[in-house]
Chain A
Amino acid sequence: MSSSIQESATPDRTGVAELPSTRPRSLVAIARRSPKAVTGILVLVGIAVVAVLAPRLAPYPVTEMHAVDRFASPGAAYLLGTDFFGRDLFSRILFGYRTSLLVAALSVAFALVIGSALGVVAGFSGGTVDTAVMRTMDILFAFPVLLLAITIVVIFGAGTLTTVLAIGIVYVPIFARIARGPTLVVREQAYVEAARALGQRPLRIIRRHVLPNVSTPIFVQATINLATAILFESALSFLGLGTQPPYPSLGLMVSEGRNYLELSPWPTVFPGLAIVLAVLGFNLVGDALQEILDPRLRPTWSSS
């Protein structure tokens, strides 16, 4: 019984029988229920570990050049081969992951905090505030995302931090829209009206009643956006508008490698595969979360 997903109804503290829980109780149960989620989580944990331990795991310093070993093939000396300057691809990919994950995490966190706050405030206040905030978001939405990000980079100058800001700003309207919807619904509920009648401050109502209701869709959206943020960062770096050389970034590596495709494909192939793996990890988790939370299996889609 203990391994079954649905626990039997047990009375809780108030003496009211609890609804049968649909929450999986063990890893095995989750795995059986969603192999997608488990695969994704394993991939992501693996990547996170190698990214954190990169300074210890990398066999060579990332910028160390080996003039004799330019374009070495994958082998014992260089696990994934070397690039034009004879730099070890494996070491560079490990450090590239640090950049990718850092930019993705920071930019999504930025968008999540600012966007959700705007969405909740807009939905909760209603009226002019709502209109002003949401029309501003619509205008941001009117720009093609990559073009908007590029414009922000041009204004602030290319670099890792600007990349975070550019991706973050582009994602703000997404979170604002997602947070506003449930807020509008909750605002009309009797318990919120009761809380108001009791004289509770708006901030307290938002914290106690609104945030718990908007956190789930926001969390799912964040997972999906982490996937697209990695693609985004790599695209900006590929265009020369993200992380600047000689710092390793996966997109930059592909950009440098593709000039020598005919001499050696590895400097292009491996960093690209590394990007795909990380993005796929987040997409698997995001997709699984959506399936679990939305039985109608709404399609996931977002683009960079």
Chain B
Amino acid sequence: MMQRYVVQRLILLIPVLFVISVLVFSLMHLIPGDPAQVILGFENTDPLQLAAVRRDLGLDRPVYVQYGRWLGRVLSGNLGTSVRTGRPIGTLMGEALPFTLELAVYAIALAVLIAIPVGTLAGTTSSRLADGAMQTLTLLGLSLPAFWVGAMLILLFSVHLRWFPVLTYPGLAEAPLANLRGFFLPALTLAVPNAAAIARMVRASLVAVRREEYVKVARAKGLSEPVVVRRHMLKNALIPVVTLVGIVAGYLLGGSIVVEQVFAIPGVGRMGLQAIVQRDYPVLQAVVLIVTALFVLVNLLVDLFYVFLDPRIRYA
């Protein structure tokens, strides 16, 4: 049953990825301006040279032929070349992606570390004041623009207190501690609104579980309150939270665009923005394709994990 569900989901993935690839390919053609003109530079208006570049790019062929060739290249791992630097986009992506992935993983870890204690406290406390304060605080967390939080953290911790270095990101393998230190503020920035969202989910989930029979039974057995919360309430309450963490993981890939810009991290988001400014559309195309594909895959993994966690779910 489980296997069939996994296979089904994987098969469903194919049309989704196909449509995404068509949309991303169309992006190139929807953007105003002639790619050949961009490559030649706007001063050069020699029609012969333009035609030559178009022929090189295959732009003189029918659109479906262009799509087929492009998809064939992408599937064989060739993302094309940057029209600005002339470097292969696969290499650029290989340099940028680790920054973005580390940022996302770090942010998720921080968000969960903040959210679970806060949400548990709010969901299990009998004090309305504590619960209310926590609710207001998390609502505030949801209302913060990431770019502003980032700027404020830089202002406080890097400019005034000088606790964290600004804009230095040594490799994780060479200098793990310096790396984690350098990435701390960006990851925290990205974590804050997501921590708020997860904390609210944990709280709501605990409030719902609180009335369950098995919790009453656990208490009636004379188990201590921490044991009831940890073993009986949290364990069940965290199941829906996993979905949210997954959705958050997907959003982090997009949200990191802003944070990478604030903290000057040379990740995929910054690569995409730079590509927009420089009209380096093959790079932009690759960024949209890779990030969206990752987003879809992360969501799929979360769905599968969710079913694995809670066998009560009917996989229809």
Interface residues of A (CB under 8 A from B): 36, 138-139, 142-147, 150-151, 154-155, 157, 227, 231, 234-235, 238-241, 251, 254-255, 257-258, 261-262, 265, 268-269, 271-272, 275-276, 279-280, 283-284, 287, 296-301, 303-304
B128 to chain A, nearest CB (A): 12
Chain B residues lying within 8 Å of A238, measured Cβ to Cβ, are 145, 147, 258, 261
Chain A residues lying within 8 Å of B154, measured Cβ to Cβ, are 258, 261
Interface residues of B (CB under 8 A from A): 16, 19-20, 23, 27, 30-32, 135-136, 139-140, 142-148, 151-152, 154-155, 159, 193-194, 197, 200-201, 203-204, 207-208, 244, 248, 250-251, 253-255, 257-258, 261-262, 272-273, 276-277, 284, 288, 291-292, 295-296, 299
Q: How far is the CA of A139 from the CA of B13 in the complex (A)?
A: 11
Chain A residues lying within 8 Å of B30, measured Cβ to Cβ, are 155
A283 to chain B, nearest CB (A): 5
A284 to chain B, nearest CB (A): 7
Partner of B288, one of A151, A227, A239, A240: A151
CB pair B145 A275 closer than 8 Å: yes
In the complex, 9 of the A-B residue pairs with CB atoms within 8 angstroms, ordered by the A residue number, are A138-B16, A154-B27, A240-B277, A254-B145, A254-B147, A268-B152, A269-B155, A299-B201, A303-B248
Chain A residues lying within 8 Å of B145, measured Cβ to Cβ, are 231, 234-235, 238, 251, 254, 272, 275-276, 279
Chain A-chain B contacts (Cβ-Cβ < 8 Å), number: 142
Going nearest first, the 9 A-B pairs with the smallest beta carbon separation are A144-B254, A272-B148, A279-B143, A146-B254, A280-B143, A299-B204, A299-B200, A258-B151, A301-B197
Q: How far is the CA of A257 from the CA of B20 in the complex (A)?
A: 37
CB pair A235 B146 closer than 8 Å: yes
CB pair B200 A147 closer than 8 Å: no
Chain B residues lying within 8 Å of A279, measured Cβ to Cβ, are 142-145
Chain A residues lying within 8 Å of B143, measured Cβ to Cβ, are 227, 231, 276, 279-280, 283
CB pair B292 A143 closer than 8 Å: yes
Residue of B nearest to A286 (CB): B139
CB pair A280 B200 closer than 8 Å: no
Q: How far is the CA of A78 from the CA of B257 in the complex (A)?
A: 34
Chain A residues lying within 8 Å of B146, measured Cβ to Cβ, are 235
CB pair B20 A147 closer than 8 Å: no
Chain A residues lying within 8 Å of B272, measured Cβ to Cβ, are 147, 150
